[in-house]
Amino acid sequence: MLRNYYYLNRTVVELNRVLAGAVATEIFSQEKNSLLISVPTDENPYRHLYISTNPLLPFMLVKDDHRKAKKNIIAYNVLNKQQFIEKIEISINDRLIRIKLANMELFFSIMGGNTNIYFLKNRRIVEELRKSKESSGILERIESNEFTRENVFHKIDENLFEGFDLHNIKKEYSFIPREVISEMKFRYKEGESIEQLFHQILGEIYSGKIKVFENEVEEKIRFVPESFKIFPAEVEMLCDDCNSAISKFIQKHFRFENINGLKKEINKQLTKEIERTTSRLNNLKARIDKGERSEEYYNYGNLLSINRYLLVKGMDLTTVVDYITNEEIGIKLNPKNSPQESIDYYFEKAKDEKVNFKISLELYENTLAKFNKLKAIETEFENANSVDDYIEIKTKLKISDKKNEKKKVTDGAKLREFLIDGKYKVLVGRDSKSNDMLSIKIAKQNDYWFHARGLPGSHVVLRVESTKEAMPKNIIKIAAQIAAFYSKAKTAGTAPVSYTFAKFVRKKKGMEPGKVLIEKEKVLLVKPEIPSNVEMISEE
């Protein structure tokens, strides 16, 4: 329900309380499908309004501490000077949000694949987040809509809700979420006003606590009012406002997508391997069950040799008397072979049969061992519950990543693994040996490397998923805080932390375990701690 009209409405109302009157100093983008508006305060000088135009995950979120990247920035020079945010509004009947500044307007249009942001001055489009064919129709949508910063309670035709037929209701009221219709159906009592029930539920959406949880049956992260009875027992996280709920949802969403992607990838490969191995095992067993037939083929060769006078090229079958059993038997022939070639064929086949049967026995044993190993991995897969478990299973199945980073589990490396904001992966060594393995073998050249300056501590690596996107400064700072926390500086108020790219970390022959040389070092002064937006996902 994160992207439905009514939670967007609540987001707009809450953002007005926070941002109306705030000063917008800069507008820019530093990653695909997103826009950042800098709205600093004395208390939070790096505060930004983050707008996601991802068609599958559109949202607006205030980040109190978001650092601008140094590169890969697209600046939108539409402000000219700092401007006050006068108000934020939503269309009464459309997922169209207006951010009104002193002398310009931003329109956040949520329309599936055409989701976009438009910059307008004097009712004219001067810029847009991405070029779109829909830009020609946005002005007409704006003119035809009425905007508000209050909660919207739509009127409905109660007759259309008879029987709560989802198809009929959505046909007329596409903006009403399925979950709301299901909740109305669950609560409805004969004779009750359906519109009053509808407005009661909207009131709960607008002012009630929000629960964020993982629905394992549906395999998705849910974002719903605490009061909804169709999700009675599934309470994992409660939030008082939209901003904190969206923040938690995004963290869980990225973590869930990561795990879900791994599960699908493993399941596909494991199913394929088991099916292929089972088929081969069955074929080998059928071959073995027929027994070793070298004597049978040798007998065929003898019988053809004795009855050579009966053979003529072009025959595909001959019938002869077996002198051992005194019974007639049919022997298949290749019509293209001469009589001598047919005789030689069965003598050769008798020789090959002994070797082939032995090979079949060996192959069966090896294939059975592989099958048992795959079934053991299947059991591990069914019981897995962490990213690290799935990565280890991927390694056992020898599944390679299609992305830049090839995830591996290195034998003997004792690592802690964290996720920042549910997205950025951090690896932490636990002893000298694992520090060496992490820094020299596991870290990729463009990963960030951290260590408390001048003090014993863990080596820390911040994974870089894509070199095309700059690593946010606040993420680098958090990784440095983790490095300070896992060092002798843990109890200090602040501590210096060295960092560089992993490609500038090397180890000379003969150096003690855990000791490395670093180049192009930078230093951050940070507070040693594990911030609240950091989640430990494994600890080997």
Question: In terms of domains, do 394 and 420 share one?
Answer: no
Question: In terms of domains, do 423 and 490 share one?
Answer: yes
| Alpha-carbon gap, residue 487 to 484, rounded angstroms | 5
Q: What is the pLDDT of residue 235?
A: 60
Residue in the block written with tokens 């629960």: 211
Question: In terms of domains, do 430 and 516 share one?
Answer: yes
Q: What is the pLDDT of residue 317?
A: 95
Asked whether residue 245 is assigned to any structural domain, the reply reads: no
Question: In terms of domains, do 368 and 437 share one?
Answer: no
Give the CATH number of the domain where residue 68 resides. 2.30.310.10
Question: In terms of domains, do 72 and 199 share one?
Answer: no
Asked if residue 490 lies in contact with residue 458, where contact means CB atoms within 8 angstroms, the answer is no
| Alpha-carbon gap, residue 495 to 409, rounded angstroms | 31
Number of domains forming the structure of the chain: 4
Asked if residue 442 lies in contact with residue 427, where contact means CB atoms within 8 angstroms, the answer is yes
| Alpha-carbon gap, residue 99 to 107, rounded angstroms | 6
- Looking at the DSSP bridge assignments, the partners of residue 428 are 416, 460
| Alpha-carbon gap, residue 130 to 138, rounded angstroms | 14
Q: Where are the alpha helices (DSSP H) in 384-463?
A: 387-396, 432-436
DSSP 8-state assignment for residue 452: E
Question: In terms of domains, do 392 and 436 share one?
Answer: no
Asked whether residue 410 is assigned to any structural domain, the reply reads: no
Asked whether residue 409 is assigned to any structural domain, the reply reads: no
Q: What is the pLDDT of residue 231?
A: 81
Q: What is the pLDDT of residue 539?
A: 66
Asked if residue 261 lies in contact with residue 317, where contact means CB atoms within 8 angstroms, the answer is no
Question: In terms of domains, do 73 and 116 share one?
Answer: yes
Asked whether residue 67 is assigned to any structural domain, the reply reads: yes
Scored b (16 or more CB within 10 A) or e, 97-130 reads bbbbbeebbbbbbbbeebbbbbbbeeeeeeebbe
Question: In terms of domains, do 382 and 426 share one?
Answer: no
Q: Which residues contact 527 (CB under 8 A, 6 or more apart)?
A: 481, 484, 493, 494, 495
Q: What is the pLDDT of residue 412?
A: 56
Scored b (16 or more CB within 10 A) or e, 389-407 reads bbbbbbebbebeeeeeeeb
Q: Give the residues of the chain that fall short of pLDDT 70.
A: 233-236, 400-413, 422, 539-540
Amino acid identity at 289: D
Query: Of 399, 432, 452, which one is at a domain's C-terminal end?
Result: 399
| Alpha-carbon gap, residue 109 to 91, rounded angstroms | 10
| Alpha-carbon gap, residue 179 to 1, rounded angstroms | 8
Could you tell me the pTM of the whole model? 0.58
Asked whether residue 230 is assigned to any structural domain, the reply reads: yes
Q: What is the pLDDT of residue 409?
A: 44
> pLDDT averaged over the chain?
89
Asked if residue 202 lies in contact with residue 196, where contact means CB atoms within 8 angstroms, the answer is no
Question: In terms of domains, do 36 and 85 share one?
Answer: yes
Query: Of 105, 124, 148, which one is at a domain's C-terminal end?
Result: 148
Q: What is the pLDDT of residue 413?
A: 67
Question: In terms of domains, do 311 and 426 share one?
Answer: no
Q: How many residues does the chain have?
A: 540
Q: What are the DSSP calls for 342-398, one per residue?
A: HHHHHHHHHHHHHHHHHHHHHHHHHHHHHHHHHHHHHHHHHH--SHHHHHHHHHHTT
**Is the four-CA dihedral 297, 299, 300, 306 of positive or negative sign?**
positive
Asked whether residue 227 is assigned to any structural domain, the reply reads: yes
Asked if residue 429 lies in contact with residue 500, where contact means CB atoms within 8 angstroms, the answer is no
Domain containing residue 187? 158-240
